[in-house]
Structure 1
Amino acid sequence: MNLKIYLVLALFIMTSLYAQEKKTEKPRFNPELAASLGADEYGMKAYTIVMLKTGSTKIDDKEKLSQLMEGHLANIGKLSEEGKIILAGPFLEQNKQTFRGMFIFNTKSKEEAEKWVKTDPAVQAGVFGYEIFPWYGSAALPLYLKHHEEITKENP
């Protein structure tokens, strides 16, 4: 009886160790995925970050501001669906740089990013200004978007 318990326990420990080893194995390089994402040899690529900041126009009319923000969010959705925006979101705290939010655009061209950010109604109205920066990050970053809808109960 004790021998059976020890055998079952040994089998359990060996299975646990094997599972642990499998978890820590490095995923294999996938050249097709890397190429489809535009990855370099480090799995990285160039993007452009646009930092939205408080603009020069202050709008006191709450209905007008609400319409601009609805347009702002709709524009983000459109650019995201087109594969131009990889990441977008507001900052949760005020900061001395007056940054309000940021976009990561799927382009290394500052000119192209500026063209895309200028399609934002809140930018056009001057509610938001912006600064543009080149950025180097994981080429896999766009993959998170396909899973975002799976975890979102409602959209703003």
Structure 2
Amino acid sequence: MKLIKYGLFAAFGIFLSCSSNQSNENKVKNGYNAELATQLKADQYGMSKYVMAFLKRGPVRSQDSIEAAKLQKAHLENIERLAEEGKLVLAGPFFDDGVIRGIYVFNVETIEEAQALTETDPAIKAGRLVMELHPWYGSAALKQINELHKSLQKQNVSEQ
């Protein structure tokens, strides 16, 4: 009786596995996932419009170290907020000490939308940073980076 019971359970498991694979094959053909492409608003090439921002050293760098640290913390909190809202898909600093301090990739269609978002940044408001904005065309998959990043992030940057 146990053998029949386990045999039926195994057969049911194989059936579920096969039907699951069949539905996945219908959804994903030749690597293309129409459902995901629609969800991410990808075009026929798997791409989307974005606005890339180059964060540059601003004209006002006279803050003392305490004020500069406060601005940096507020800047990072703003980055997190924009990422949570889905408006910012990628951000990060450059390691050198050049004029260009970092980049943002905004999940917006126009320079005007990105400009309005940059104006929420405390470091921009204080003149510590300025933004140079450019329309950009990149993989729609970038919209998934923030969720993936959360699974890799041991500590929140703004908590430092």
Q: Indicate the TM-score class for this superposition, using the shorter chain for normalisation.
A: 0.7 to 0.9
Is 2:46 aligned against 1:46? no
Counterparts of residues 13-92 of structure 1 (less than 5 Å) = 28-92=31-95
Give the distance between the partners of 2:84 and 2:144, measured in 1 at CA. Answer: 13
Matched, 1:123 2:144: no
Quote the Cα distance in structure 2 between the aligned partners of 1:40 and 1:66. 41
Structure 1 counterpart of 2:94, one-letter code: F
The answer for unaligned runs of 5 or more in structure 2 is: 1-28
Q: CA deviation at 1:101?
A: 0.5
Q: Separation in 1 of the partners of 2:82 and 2:92?
A: 13
CA deviation map 1:15-65 (0-9, x unaligned): xxxxxxxxxxx8531111101111110000110001000001012411111
SS in 1 for 2:43: coil
Distance, in Å, in 1 between the alignment partners of 2:78 and 2:30 is 36
Unaligned runs of 5+ residues in structure 1 are 1-25
Secondary structure of the residue that 2:86 maps to in structure 1? Answer: coil
1:92-103 to 2 correspondence within 5 Å? 92-95=95-98, 98-103=99-104
CA distance in 1, matches of 2:142, 2:46: 10
- TM, length-normalised to structure 2: 0.77
Task: Give 1:107's aligned residue.
Answer: 108
CA displacement, residues 69-125 of structure 1 (integer Å, 9 cap, x when unaligned): 110000000000000000000001133xx1001100001210000100110000000
Correspondence for 2:9: none
SS of equivalent to 2:101: strand
Identity of aligned residues (%): 43
What's the C-alpha RMSD, in Å, of the aligned pairs? 1.3
Runs of 4+ in structure 1 off by over 6 angstroms are none
TM-score (norm 1): 0.79
* Aligned equivalents of 2:145, 2:58: Cα separation in 1: 30
Matched residue type, 1:32: E
AA paired with 2:48? K
